[in-house]
Amino acid sequence: MNDRPHTVSVSTSDRLSAVLSGAVRRVSVILWRKPGLSAGLLLAPPLGWFLLIYIAALAALFISAFWTTDSFTGEIDRTWTLSNFQAIFGSETYRLIALRTIFMAAAVTITDVILAFPFAYFMVRLASQRQRVALFTLVLVPLWSSYLARVYAWRLIFAHEGVLNWVLHGLGFQSIEIGYTNWAMWIVFSYIWLPFMIMPIYAALERIPYSLFEASLDLGAKAWRTFFKVILPLAMPGVVAGSIFSFSLTLGDYITPVLVGGPGSDFIGNVVYANVGIANNVPFAAAYASIPLVVMGLYLMAARRSGAFDVM
Amino acid sequence: MMNLTRTLAAGISLGTAIAFSASAFAAPAAPNYPQTIGKGEGALNIVAWEGYAEDSWIKPFEKETGCVVNRKYAGSSDEMVTLMRQGGGGEYDLVSASGDASLRLIYGGTVQPIDVKLIPDFENFVPDLKAPPHNTVKGLHYGLSYEWGPNVLLYNTDKIAAAPTSWSAIYDEQYKGKVTVPDNPIQIADAALYLAVKDPSLGIKDPYELTEKQLDAVVALLKQQRSLVKKYWALASDEIELFKNGDVVIGAAWPYQTITLKAAGAKVADTIPTEGATGWADSWMLSAKTKHPNCAYKFMAYVSTPAVQAQQALYFGETPANMKACEEMDKAEAGSCAKYHLDEATTYIKKIKFWKTPQKTCSDGSQTCTDYSVWQRKWQEVKG
């Protein structure tokens, strides 16, 4: 083996690494002197991703909301117009569907708070360690099964010859026709999003020191007063955090209305789906889809004020 | 802050660019017939209804021609239209379009005329399906008819003893809360078909050509019907479950639901009432930008043969366009040719008003008809 090329290659790589390490040192010095720059470099990839995927998509959505579609050929007509928004706000049907969606989201949220609060309180304060583990499992196990499977299960429960009526008959009651109604939707939504309410409330309650309860009682407050003046205000951020989940998840859902809803059960999501899928009217769908966006924006602003994001 | 605004602006312009890139053209494509069917290109991409490209007849085709068939199933007519236009067209070669999609594909310039001389079985087709208005424009065959069938009135024979003779049954108070109809704007045509007979003063001649006044009358009837409806079904399986669980006793359906329910032992039957029925007629359509024209023509010739038409008909519960398929059907299932009315196809087909896309221009050339987007909006009003 010839020695010379070997030596040459070593010296080149040495020189190269010296140059490189010098460059690295210089860069690190600059970054150390200007912390803003290093933070910027670290944030650039995720921020770029966020802007490209999220903001650009939203921008495209908003822009196309002001276009129209040629109803026959399905080609998009890019003349700026407010006609989509006029159609939405001028039509009783579309106003009703938007209100129905928002009202259902609110009803489900309130129901879940009422169900989740005592449950979470029991888990934090009264349950033994073993009971707590068991309850945690009970809350989380449904999340392991598919959302669709659980909705279909409810459909079978509510059916005319379903489990519910079978039980009612067995107990000697009249059968009830609850399947394919808004009541059925309310029950299914409340069931499906309940774990998302229990978890944040549990986290919030767990952070309240027990000494505060004792102090309240020592100072002569009765149980209800301790609840309203001490526990509830301190647990409020957890309640709001949970409500963001249940509210936004209900607001954006369109599968449950298709599966368990009856006539007059369409949500905003169903109208969007129908306009994209059936009518091929993407601009109108985009205009209608901006309603939940605005509602959710307002909701999040209100939630931020209450400090809910501290416990999330 | 300055940077952020600039990045935002870049994001917005990018979004706009994406949205703009979809090309805009809208005129039927001109014919571009091949002289003969050449050697296959080795592949064929098709968009089809589920059940329209089963292995039992696709595999032999692949073996025979060397064209590997890549299948994409679509759930709705509109999905088919979207898929065929995707990426500027040309991603898919063939589509099994129904009559409510075919005209949109033609006028959107998405599909091209087919030379029926290259399809040997074309001459055996039911005469009404050789150049039907839903796939033939100005004498050019943009679609090759495939299979067809009626939308039927399905009912529970335990609860309803005598077969209903009129569509009035699904508008009847006595079945309040026990009725189901499809969740589809084209359902307006079904109601129009019934009203055309019940209220001749409205002057409805074609259920797919409704003036604003006629449409309002139909929508009023459908809004009345809403209080009787248990559920507007979106999937065939929804309706099957509704009948099985006793949630409904009567409804508008496809023969497919009847076959499936009967096979599961449910007590149901279907009928075509005296007013007639709406129905579907599917056509194979060739993309204007197809990359595998030889395989596409080979495929169209193959699926038009009596044997494949019979297999398809029995698999899905529908009627072939090829009248020669009768023998093959009876061979596979005795009496099935008569069951699907292929033996009397030329007269039976007249009872059916096939789906077609409602347009603003009526067939007499006037602009007084209501188009599909209006129907879609009205349908949303009906179901709320």
What are the boundaries of each domain within chain B?
33-148+280-354, 150-279+358-383
CB spacing of A75 vs B26 below 8 angstroms: yes
Is B384 close to A60, i.e. CB distance below 8 A? no
Count of Cβ atoms closer than 10 Å to residue A149 Cβ: 9
User: Tens digit of pLDDT for each residue in B312-371?
Assistant: 999 888 999 999 999 999 999 998 998 888 998 988 898 899 988 888 888 888 999 998
Best B4, B78, B79, B209 member to test A by mutation, with max A CBs in 10 Å, is B78
Residue A170 lies in a domain: yes
Query: Nearest C-alpha of chain B: how many angstroms from A62?
Result: 10
Predicted pLDDT at B11 = 43
pTM strictly above 0.80: no
Whether residue B376 and residue A274 make contact (CB cut-off 8 A), yes or no, is yes
Contact A158/B at CB under 8 A: no
Residues A49 and A152 in one domain: no
pLDDT of B6 higher than 60? no
Closest CA to A198 of A129, A151, A143: A143
Inter-chain touch A281–B373, beta carbons under 8 Å: yes
Would you call B371 an interface residue with chain A, using a CB distance cutoff of 8 Å? yes
- Please report whether residue A254 resides in a domain: yes
Residue A81 lies in a domain: no
C-alpha dihedral over A13, A14, A16, A22, to 10 degrees? 160
Confidence band, pLDDT 50/70/90 cuts, at residue B2:
very low
Asked whether this chain's domains B33-148+280-354 and B150-279+358-383 adopt the same fold, the reply is yes
Show the 3-state SS of A211-271.
Answer: HHHHHHHHCCCCHHHHHHHHHHHHHHHHHHHHHHHHHHHHHHCCHHHHHHCCCCCCCHHHH
pLDDT score of A78: 85
Q: Is residue A68 part of a domain?
A: no
Instruction: Check whether B17 has a pLDDT greater than 70.
Output: no
For B248, the closest chain A residue by CA position comes to A160
Is pLDDT above 50 for B21?
Answer: no
The answer, for B7 touching chain A at a CB cutoff of 8 Å, is yes
Q: Is B229 helix (H, G, I), strand (E, B) or coil?
A: strand
Domain membership flag for residue A30 = yes
Q: Say whether both A33 and A149 belong to one domain.
A: no
pLDDT on residue B1:
35
Cβ pair B145, B321 in contact under 8 A: yes
Are B11 and A55 an interchain contact pair (Cβ–Cβ within 8 Å)?
A: yes
Question: Are the Cβ atoms of A279 and B78 closer than 8 angstroms?
Answer: yes
Number of domain units in chain A = 2
- Mean pLDDT value across chain B: 89
pLDDT at residue number A28 = 82
In this structure, are A200 and A106 located in the same domain? yes
Q: Does the pLDDT of residue B100 top 70, yes or no?
A: yes
**What is the model's pLDDT at position A61?**
85
Q: Could you tell me if A131 lies within 8 Å of chain B, comparing CB atoms?
A: no
**A160 and A16 within one domain:** no
B247 interface with A at CB cutoff 8 Å: yes
CB contact under 8 A, B230 and A180: yes
Q: Are residues A36 and A109 in the same domain?
A: no
Q: Is A56 on the interface with B (CB under 8 A)?
A: yes
Inter-chain contact B26–A73, Cβ cutoff 8 Å? yes
- Judge whether A182 is closer than 8 Å to chain B, CB to CB: no
Nearest-5° Cα angle at A184, A179 to A185:
130
B19, B24, B245 ranked by CB distance to A63: nearest: B19
Are residues A150 and A209 both part of a single domain? yes
Residues 172-201 on B with a CB inside 8 Å of A are 177, 184-185
Average pLDDT over residues B166-195: 94
User: Per the domain annotation, does A61 fall within a domain?
Assistant: no
Q: What is the pLDDT along chain A (312 residues), one digit of tens a residue?
A: 444 445 445 566 677 777 778 888 888 888 888 878 888 888 888 888 888 888 888 888 888 899 988 766 667 888 888 889 998 898 999 999 999 999 999 999 999 999 999 999 999 989 999 999 999 999 999 888 899 999 999 999 999 888 999 999 899 888 888 889 999 999 999 999 999 999 999 999 999 998 998 899 899 988 899 988 889 888 988 999 999 999 999 999 999 999 999 999 999 999 998 887 666 788 999 999 999 999 999 998 988 887 666 655
Interface membership of A148 toward B (CB under 8 Å): no
In a domain, A72, yes or no: no
Taking CA atoms, what residue in B is nearest to A255?
B234
Statement to judge: residues A94 and A15 lie in one domain: no
The whole-angstrom distance between residue B347's C-alpha and the CA centroid of its chain comes to: 21
Interface subset of B 124-163, CB within 8 angstroms of A: none
Instruction: Give the strand pairing for B68-74 and B140-141.
Output: unpaired
Distance (Å, whole) CA A225 – CA A227: 5
Q: Which fold has domain B150-279+358-383?
A: D-Maltodextrin-Binding Protein; domain 2 (3.40.190)
| Any B CB within 8 A of A90 CB | no
Q: Do residue A295 and residue A166 come from a single domain? A: yes
Report which of residues A302 and B301 the model is more confident about: B301
Contact A151, A256 (CB under 8 A): yes
Q: Which chain B residue shows the shortest CA-CA distance from A264?
A: B384
Confidence of residue B26 (pLDDT cuts 50, 70, 90): low
Q: What is the CATH number of the domain that holds A212?
A: 1.10.3720.10
**Per residue in B52-91, pLDDT tens?**
999 999 999 999 999 999 999 887 787 888 889 887 788 9
Angle between helices B255-263 and B236-244 (to 10 degrees): 40
Residues of B in contact with A96 (CB under 8 A): 384
Do A130 and A18 lie in a common domain? no
Q: Residue A137 in contact with residue A241, Cβ under 8 Å?
A: no
In a domain, residue A71? The reply is: no
User: Which residue from B18, B104, B232 is facing A72, i.e. has the nearest CB?
Assistant: B104
pLDDT of residue B18: 38
CA–CA min distance A89, chain B (Å): 14
Do A34 and A132 sit in the same domain of this protein? no
Question: Same domain for A179 and A256?
Answer: yes
Same domain, A51 and A181: no
Please indicate if any CB of chain A lies within 8 Å of the CB of B229.
yes
Could you please state the CATH topology (level 3) that the domain comprising B33-148+280-354 is classified under.
D-Maltodextrin-Binding Protein; domain 2 (3.40.190)
Interface membership of A162 toward B (CB under 8 Å): yes
Residue-wise DSSP of B288-331: TT-S-HHHHHHHHHHHTSHHHHHHHHHHHT-EESBTTHHHHHHH
Q: What range does the domain containing A41 cover?
A: 4-55
Cα distance between residue B100 and residue B130, in whole Å: 18
